[in-house]
Amino acid sequence: MDKLIITGGAQLSGELRISGAKNAALPILAATLLSENPVTIGNIPHLHDITTTMQLLGQMGIQLTIDEKMNIEVHSSTITKYEAPYELVKTMRASILVLGPLLSRFGEAHVSLPGGCAIGSRPVDIHIDSLIKMGADIQVEAGYIHAKVKRLKGCRLVLDKVTVTGTENLLMAAVLAEGTTILENAAKEPEVSDLAHFLNAMGAKITGIDTDILTIEGVDKLDKKEIHYNIIPDRIETGTYLVAAAITRGRVKLKDTRPDTLDAVLEKLKEAGADITSGDDWIELDMHGKRPKAVTLRTAPYPAFPTDMQAQFTAMNIVAEGVGIITETVFENRFMHVQEMQRMGANIQLESNTAICTGSEKITGAPVMATDLRASASLVIAGLVAEGETLVDRIYHIDRGYDHIEEKLSQLGATIRRIPR
Ligand code: UD1
């Protein structure tokens, strides 16, 4: 397994281009299943999860072509089976996103249950119960969801919890359903809106985009031709590099991004002492060489502070001035990075879903490993300021969601290298 070695101490400075959003690319690639015509998706990030999604679609018999600029053309009319097998779902939970489109367009889907994962139990009960309300016959047997329907029927669905992939699955299911579906308490994450805009570009009729009530008027087919759709920039990648610059007391300008999707994160960085300027598609952060101040925050669905930025802010708090309290409300077990940070000398007290971080002047490099994507990124960030070398193991998690992380950090002046297995 590849590892990353980081030598702490360099102050980051420079400019970077932000990649397309992983969490928008995955549902949008799944949504290509809904169209009768070839569709091209652009601004696709170079990530392991994208490769997994291509394998997932490929094993269904779908033709995919990818060019050197990472545009992916999908012809879903060549589909031969309606299945997401365990071997792929176990490596990427987001594979569940094919359930809604397969059922909606082909009336049949066999999708392995994702099961538990490092950050909690993460059930898919809301996806399944809502599809049953839309008329699907669903059996869960031997670890698989088997779903069948003649045609889904639109109805009013009030989601028990705000769920991002749940909202996306139901949105995709509803576009070809008979009649109107009203999704209440829907997730408003920018990636959900990106998917909705893409579906509308293919011929769907969705209104209420960016709000928590989505209305979907079912259509018989999505028959718009010559669709080329570009994925929105990755707000979590953006936030991660902003924190990396802040923790090293540096300065960074990030281009091809969307500051309007990062309000809560930028607010907390300002509180930490960062000077932030931005335009339509760029953000600049400057610490003017100062140590960050610890911040207190609480994760919650968009537009509140994202759970996917919690670990990175924990890393910043452990070397910041003062005490910062981090409360995780979205996932029950998302503090796997804390123990590893403690091995680097961090002063963190964990009390159920709260991490009380007291900033230290100094942390030290150590061999560490993480069990999820954002936790791995937070350990790399901690390594940037730790004294000596930090060796981050199991970085396949990072490769799932960060496009060329060591190259991008090197470009900003970090001392980081990959050791191939
Ligand atoms: C998505 C993101 C992930 C992010 C998360 C929260 C993708 C591919 N992944 O994950 O990066 O961390 O949103 O912003 O977009 N829940 C249920 N029943 C369900 C579905 C969800 O109880 O049927 C619960 C979950 O256990 C969790 C909460 O709802 O506690 C939110 O989860 P959800 O928004 O569904 O996360 P994902 O869509 O899996």
Per-residue pLDDT of the chain (421 residues; tens, 9 = 90+): 789 999 999 999 999 999 999 999 999 999 999 998 999 999 999 999 999 999 999 999 999 999 988 999 999 999 999 999 999 999 899 999 999 999 999 999 999 998 655 555 678 999 999 999 999 999 999 889 999 999 999 999 999 999 999 999 999 999 999 999 999 999 999 999 999 999 999 999 999 999 999 999 999 999 999 999 999 999 999 999 999 999 999 999 999 999 999 999 999 999 999 999 999 999 999 999 999 999 999 999 999 999 999 999 999 999 999 999 999 999 988 999 999 999 999 999 999 999 999 999 999 999 999 888 999 999 999 999 999 999 999 888 899 999 999 999 999 999 999 998 7
Report CA(191)–ligand 1 centroid distance (Å). 13
Q: Is 43 in the pocket of ligand 1 (CB under 6 A)?
A: no
Q: What is the pLDDT of residue 396?
A: 86
Query: Among 108, 113, 109, 107, which residue's Cα sits nearest to residue 142?
Result: 113
Report CA(319)–ligand 1 centroid distance (Å). 30
Q: What is the pLDDT of residue 79?
A: 96
Report CA(325)–ligand 1 centroid distance (Å). 23
Q: Is 166 in the pocket of ligand 1 (CB under 6 A)?
A: yes
Q: What is the pLDDT of residue 421?
A: 79
CB-CB contact of 246 with 34 (8 Å): no
* Best residue for ligand 1 mutational test, from 132, 159, 165 (most atoms within 8 Å of Cβ): 165
Q: What is the pLDDT of residue 132?
A: 97
Report CA(383)–ligand 1 centroid distance (Å). 28
CB-CB contact of 182 with 215 (8 Å): yes
CB-CB contact of 214 with 206 (8 Å): yes
* Cα 418 to Cα 405: distance, rounded to the nearest angstrom: 10
Q: What is the pLDDT of residue 120?
A: 59
Tokens of 70: 């990472």
Catalytic machinery residues: 117
235-247 helix and 263-271 helix, angle to the nearest 10 degrees: 10
Q: Which atom of ligand 1 is nearest to the CA of 122?
A: 26
- CA distances, 208 to each of 52, 130, 191, 406 (Å): 31, 19, 14, 39
Q: Which atom of ligand 1 is nearest to the CA of 26?
A: 8
Q: What is the pLDDT of residue 119?
A: 55
The widest CA-to-CA distance across the chain, in whole angstroms, is 63
Residues facing residue 140 across a β-bridge: 145
Return all residues near 51 (Cβ < 8 A) that are at least 6 apart.
Answer: none
Q: What is the pLDDT of residue 51?
A: 95
